[in-house]
Structure 1
């Protein structure tokens, strides 16, 4: 029985991790997630990742695998997870994490691989791997410092302490906290983004992501290059025409 589900509605794809009781990132979950992400169709404009149930978004890796790990198998384990999470980060489409409940260890690392995060007020966040005598291995030591700064990231990684949703919002781990359904709020954002020029949104994602690893001067060149590329698209012409004609644009990804 599948533990990761995928559905598309109105050009918005929703990936749901459904592995009770806490949606742990066991081998089957990671493999199914990789296949789904790899097969996301071109006509999907936005992707949402969420967890089933009301206990956890994803509570982390499957600790049952840990007792027999060696140096070699440990590297293999985390590189597999890193590769899958990088697939998510590298998607052309924007990816939104809709978090309700625990987002711990690999669960937080999965959320960090998304473009932005929306959480319910009861959610909790943390990288508690040091409590097990290991470190975050699915990208936590790299993505969290880039998102919130090295000092705060080190404090959280070294201590393994949890943050409330409000605390996670204050330090910049999540972009929005809601008293309502995180998935409903994520869908609202996905619907807004889906109405924008899909080629423009994807180019903007590339410009931001590439620019983070460049100097400002290099990043400005990257931005200008993508801008120029968009200027030769039919979608640019349609967007401008719709603006002057005071109507909604009909983008065709051309």
Structure 2
């Protein structure tokens, strides 16, 4: 009886959560609707699109630390978030945290987003961790609040309703790996370097690393990597289960991004509400016992039954055509 009551109590909870969610060498999608100052800085490479070449730029201007681009055409619904601090190896600064918070909030409010790719515009680097130069100039009393804000950002990233994919084409250390760990799926080039190396600085991972890494690769292996401040490449990271796919790096240095884009294109045609409910059921269910997890799944399933997308899926199956889901 208690389990039944618990399941009934969960259903309105998930209804509330659902209501709150109302660089390539080969041709890729057009990058459009730039949200963050994309017309300044030096040209570093070109992204080719179906509709022509799109200039890919980076600069050291703080207002250009992050680029958020919404793809269009057949790739509408895919958002590419690009970290862009070339002189600082994409390290996490106050400004980057602020800009990422804004980007995450915008994405969270947009129910047309179907997947998010987090990557880098800087060759050879995903994110090298905290900006230690900035940190050295902080008063001791400032460090705790800054780390708390960075931790909150990474938590918000992990709570995005749409699937998130980290494309790691270079170094991902400390906070950089913690950002990737908050994503649903991680893809890395075989030459990428990853590790939680904070113990080298006599501190510990402070933005979720001690909690997310054991959940991904297991407690014993996580302890070994953290205690030894060990750095692994993409091949070893895949063997450990830290990433889902290790891909051979290409001459442009964006092999992981291209594989992430392929995966996002696989996700794109599926029912968007179903994807969000599946993510919620998995994330919440992993934190509880099996019986409660099954109740969470039941509550999430209840949210997809009355949707127009479910009826569209049945109609498309009957008519032997591709469904046209609208997220309704």
What TM-score, normalized by structure 1, do the two folds share?
0.96
Map Cα deviations across residues 176-223 of structure 1 (whole Å, 9 max, x no partner). 011151111111111111110000000000000000111100001111
Q: Is the 8 A contact 1:59 1:106 kept in 2?
A: yes
> Which protein has the larger Cα radius of gyration, Structure 1 or Structure 2?
2
Q: Please, which of 230, 242, 248 is the counterpart of residue 304 of structure 2? A: 230
Give the structure 1 partner of residue 259 of structure 2: 185
**Cα distance between partner residues in 2 of 1:70 and 1:16:** 30
Cα distance between partner residues in 2 of 1:150 and 1:110: 19
Q: C-alpha displacement at 1:37, in angstroms? A: 0.8
In structure 2, what is the equivalent of residue 204 of structure 1?
278
Q: Give the deviation of 1:229 after TM superposition.
A: 1.8
- Contact kept in structure 1, 2:94 and 2:146, CA below 8 Å: no
Scaled by the length of structure 2, the TM-score of the pair is: 0.75
List runs of 5+ in structure 1 lacking aligned partners.
none
How many angstroms apart in 2 are the aligned matches of 1:146 and 1:138? 14
Cα shift at 1:74? 2.9
Residue-by-residue CA offset, 1:211-252 (whole Å, 9 max, x unaligned): 011110000111111112211111111111111211110111
Q: Secondary structure at the match of 1:187?
A: helix
In the TM superposition, residue 69 of structure 1 has moved relative to its aligned partner by 5.6
Paired position in structure 2 for 1:101: 170
Match of 1:12 among 69, 74, 78: 78
The 3-state SS of whatever aligns with 1:57 is strand
Equivalent residue, structure 2, for 1:27: 94
Q: How does 1:234-245 map to 2 (within 5 A)?
A: 234-245=308-319
Give how far 1:75 is off: 2.0
Q: Which residue of 2 aligns with 1:157?
A: 226
The Cα shift of 1:42 comes to 1.6
In structure 2, what is the equivalent of residue 53 of structure 1? 122
Query: Deviation of residue 70 (structure 1)?
Result: 6.3
RMSD, aligned α-carbons? 1.3
Q: C-alpha separation between the residues in 2 aligned to 1:60 and 1:51?
A: 13
What are structure 2's unaligned runs of at least 5 residues? 1-62
Query: Are residues 1:126 and 2:219 paired?
Result: no
Structure 1 runs of 4+ aligned residues shifted over 3 Å read 65-72
